[in-house]
Amino acid sequence: MILSGKLNIDGFVKKDDGFVNKAVVVKEPNGNLALYVQAGIMFAEGEDSAKDYAYSGPLGEGKKVFAYRNETNDGKSFLGLSVAEQDPNYAAAPVQPQPTADVVALPSGEEVAKNDIPF
């Protein structure tokens, strides 16, 4: 690898979600430089996950990429990738409101029930 970093390309943006294009430049054996641009991102699944893949994430618009842990016959580990259309009915789990405390601490250190605060 020769270099890596952010790449600003007009019109090459994924939604308005803070996604930043990244690029890697690699020198090939013949002396040419190859440019690889990030197309997606994969997040690790928890070790206790019942899913058969180790990583998954969005890939452009409407697709998901999955990475599966595999092993060669001689015991070397590698990741296998697959791409699928994202289920149009899929939506991220709704954010649950955090429970609020029934008791709050005043600057004096005294704890009082929320309903007893006069403002």
Closest to 69 measured CA to CA, from 42, 36, 38: 42
pTM above 0.85, yes or no: no
Q: Where are the domains of the chain?
A: 1-38, 40-87
Across 17-31, 37-51, 101-115, least confident range: 101-115
Reduce the DSSP state of residue 114 to 3 states and report it.
helix
CA–CA separation, 41 and 20 (whole Å) = 11
**DSSP, res 40:** B
State residue 60's pLDDT score: 76
- Take residue 66 and report the two structure tokens written for it: 């999955």
**pLDDT digits 0-9 by tens, 4-41:** 888 776 655 555 555 567 889 999 999 999 998 888 88
